[in-house]
Structure 1
Amino acid sequence: MRFVGIDVVIPVHDEQELLPGCLDSLEACAAVTPVPVTVTVVLDSCTDASGSLARGRARIVRCDARNVGAARAVGFDSLPRPASPQRSGQRWYATTDADSRVPPTWLADQLARALDGADVVAGLVEVTDWSEWNPDTRVRYLEGYRAGSDHRHIHGANIGISARAYRDLGGFEPLPVHEDVRLVHRAEEAGLSIAWSTAT
């Protein structure tokens, strides 16, 4: 299968302090990705300057869901329907969060897994700021987090999926939490190929 482009969706709710860093990292990532990358920011009930900060750097879509699953779905639903992949090539979808900083190889790594046959790529995350959490929470998290290729962690901040698979599955459900987990579990139930990536 030939991939001709990547669409990245970021749900945002009043995250003006975090969003610029996320967009910076995505611009650096797009610069070294072998296919064109389009970024869509979904402003979900935003009352701050998130929209102004995203203007000129991403497509902007608005909703009033106050629901991360619904916001992710709105973002992907706003994209043009992919043409027949047999005629024009396939598109790849990816999603992250406004408080995340993706590495430069994030999308290239996902594409490599897709070219090897993966329908879905579920990657890891690395928490770099524990200042809002108590030390016990940090210890419990790190003790239970497996970073090897046998991990089964699912994070909305690091998921990729072929456009065809996303549409076939019906997309993200309008859930306030665990919309990412539900999507990947539905993919597993449908017999799709899941790549458990160790990339953060």
Structure 2
Amino acid sequence: MKIAIVIPAHNEAMTIINCLASVQTAIEQLPSTIAAYPLVVLDSCTDNTLELIKTAGVDYICCDYHCVGRVRDMGIRHAIAHGANWLACTDADSVVTTDWLVQQINHTTQQPTDMICGVVSVDSWTHLTPQTQEDYIKHYQDMMGHHHIHGANLSFSSEAYLAVGGFAPLPCHEDVDLVKKFETRGYAITWSNRVRVITSSRLEARATEGFAAFLANLEKINL
């Protein structure tokens, strides 16, 4: 198996190093028979994200799409063209757990699956109202069999990805659209809370209807 961890980035100089460090730690937990590497897709970056990635010695490609669906698809197709047969997606403002990749492998070996939808935890609630935290926890199902979808914690086989046509060129909800394609075609999906990512609680959204926007809307209601 060859795993590519595809990470879109738009002006993520504040967070990309922690993200890549967590991915590297997760890679180091894998058996030597499995090859894995991160690939950062820089989309219209105007800060020093590129310099940080170069210093880290991580593979990268660049684009100017301003569209996360196109960015993810570009990175994944690039990785598949270079031999990756399992794709793991996360975001540049997130950190993956140490066993993030190991748990994915465990799922694929215990019961064959074409896609894994993992869960996310919020990194900090300190700048948000207690009511926002309470409302979020009430909404979120941190358990096996959940039905949350996060581009920051989504993985799948290359074969199934290509068969369904990949991520649509959408500025948001590209992850939801992809999961629906897998469901429509009858591919096996594992909804796991063993595959975990910690994501930023920032309220400045990169995508107009992404996770940051969801938190910002909760906070606005509770102010």
Pairwise same-fold verdict (TM > 0.5) = yes
1:182 is matched with: 177
> How big is the shift at 1:139?
2.0
2:153 is matched with: 158
Tell me which amino acid in the other structure corresponds to 2:104: Q
1:43 is matched with: 42
Structure 1 pair 174–75 and aligned structure 2 pair: CA distance change class (3 A): same
Identity %: 38
Alignment pair present for 1:94 and 2:88: yes
Tell me which amino acid in the other structure corresponds to 2:21: D
* 8 A Cα contact 1:82 1:163, kept in partner: no
Where does 1:97-116 land on structure 2 (aligned, <5 Å)?
A: 97-115=91-109, 116=111
Structure 1 pair 134–161 and aligned structure 2 pair: CA distance change class (3 A): same
> How big is the shift at 1:176?
1.2
Partner deviation per Cα, 1:28-81 (whole Å, 9 max, x = no partner): 011111211121101000001111111143211111111111111111122243
| Structure 2 Cα separation of the partners of residues 13 and 111 of structure 1 | 29
* 8 A Cα contact 1:67 1:176, kept in partner: yes
Instruction: Choose which of 120, 133, 136 in structure 1 pairs with 2:115.
Output: 120
5+ residue gaps, structure 1: 84-89
TM-score where L is the length of structure 2: 0.81
> How big is the shift at 1:149?
1.1
Instruction: Count residues in correspondence.
Output: 191
Which SS does the other structure have where 2:135 is aligned? helix
TM-score where L is the length of structure 1: 0.90
Tell me which amino acid in the other structure corresponds to 1:50: T
Structure 1 pair 187–48 and aligned structure 2 pair: CA distance change class (3 A): same
Partner deviation per Cα, 1:111-151 (whole Å, 9 max, x = no partner): 22122211000000000223454443322211110111121
5+ residue gaps, structure 2: 197-223
Alignment pair present for 1:18 and 2:15: yes
| Structure 2 Cα separation of the partners of residues 118 and 14 of structure 1 | 34
* 8 A Cα contact 1:82 1:91, kept in partner: no
